[in-house]
Amino acid sequence: MARINPKFSAELKSFGAFDANACYNCGNCTAVCSLSDENNSFPRKMVRYSVLGLDNEIQMSLEPWLCYYCGECSTTCPREAQPGELMMSLRRWLTSKYDWTGLSGLLYKSLSATIVAFILLAAGVIWFAASQNFNTEKMLHFGHYFEMIAIAAVFVVILIPDIINMWWKTVYKTKVKVPVSAYFKALGELIIHMFTQKRTLGCDDSKTRWLEHLILVAGYLTLLFTTVFLDWFATQSTFIIILGYVESAVIFVITFIFMGERIMKKQEVSIHAHPSDWFFVIWLFLMGLTAFTVRLFIDLDILETNIWMYLIHLIILVQWALIIVPFGKWTHFLFRSFAMYFQRIKELDG
Ligand code: SF4
Ligand code: SF4
């Protein structure tokens, strides 16, 4: 028998949801959703589950990740129950359930805890820089190795266990018999969705949004490669220097557009922005902008006398790598891709 959690609606509100109890189950939202199908009748089913407090069923479902927040359901809901925002809140809530540390939930629910975490990390970086007498060479060296170690540590300690937890809840516990070969056959799905997020194209009028995201993901991943493996801040290669400038410029230009869209509230997705949405886009913007400026200062030979610029970049980088990537909105990109993978695996069941 299904277990009912009477406090679930209230809990979901702390992740950003509106009053799902306003829903009178008309089904308009599912009818207009271009991504739902006969096997996945979201968002109505998820709205119902939320109202009824069926949190176990929601944890076992991949449906919240199959929604790409075009917002059509919210604009057509006659009860203004905001089903699109509910799906977004479910994704935040699920992230907190996959995360074994519990920090995702804390940071999503508490703005003050997030701000304290940002301040503590900034203080830690400043303390470290002071302990190195703000020596440019030592700070650059630390920043370079921090990126490598942080990426590896965050994946091994936080993200891989979270993905295993997601698999446990959404594949294993659903008792769908999946042959081992399905995990290999579906790998292409994972890679395609991770790098292209092509499901976005299923939403109406989404080509521009999809293209912006594609360019941003390409800029982000290639800049990561350029800074970590091609050592952008230390290289003498003109090609790599220009490559890094282009990649970082792509990031801050696209994120600047995103911030403008959020401020103008032109799209449904921008109307109910949660603090975590703002942190994601602002920190990505600052990462691109400060990386660009640091390299410019190096090329103008003024970084040593303006080491504060690198200190700002390092603070942004550390906050991004230790808060937003493992516990914030960045994880949605990962979980969404794995949801498509797990969904494909389940379709290939024996
Ligand atoms: S359109 Fe609104 S009222 Fe109708 S089922 Fe969806 S959420 Fe409920
Ligand atoms: S936001 Fe768009 S994709 Fe998500 S459930 Fe609503 S209509 Fe479907």
Higher pLDDT, 175 or 244: 244
Sign of the torsion formed by the C-alpha atoms of 301, 135, 226 and 198? negative
Model confidence at 208, pLDDT cuts 50, 70, 90, reads confident
Task: Provide the residue ranges of all domains of the chain, joining segments of one domain with +.
Answer: 8-98, 103-347
Give the ligand with the smallest distance to the CA of 70.
Answer: 2
Sign of the torsion formed by the C-alpha atoms of 29, 17, 165 and 190? positive
- DSSP H helices, the chain, are 8-13, 28-32, 44-52, 55-59, 63-66, 72-76, 83-98, 103-109, 111-131, 136-153, 160-167, 180-185, 187-196, 207-228, 238-264, 268-271, 275-299, 307-319, 325-327, 330-347
Maximum distance among all Cα pairs of the chain, rounded to whole angstroms: 69
Residue closest by Cα to atom 3 of ligand 1: 23
Residue pLDDT, tens place only, 300-318: 999 999 999 999 999 999 9
- Report the residue among 23, 51, 76 best suited for mutation to probe ligand 1: largest number of ligand atoms under 8 A from its CB: 23
Q: What percentage of the chain carries pLDDT values higher than 90? A: 80
Q: What is the pLDDT of residue 349?
A: 66
Give the ligand with the smallest distance to the CA of 85.
Answer: 2
Model confidence at 44, pLDDT cuts 50, 70, 90, reads very high
Nearest CA to 323 among 97, 152, 158?
158
Is the full-model pTM beyond 0.75?
yes
Question: What CA–CA distance (Å, rounded) separates 183 from 204?
Answer: 31
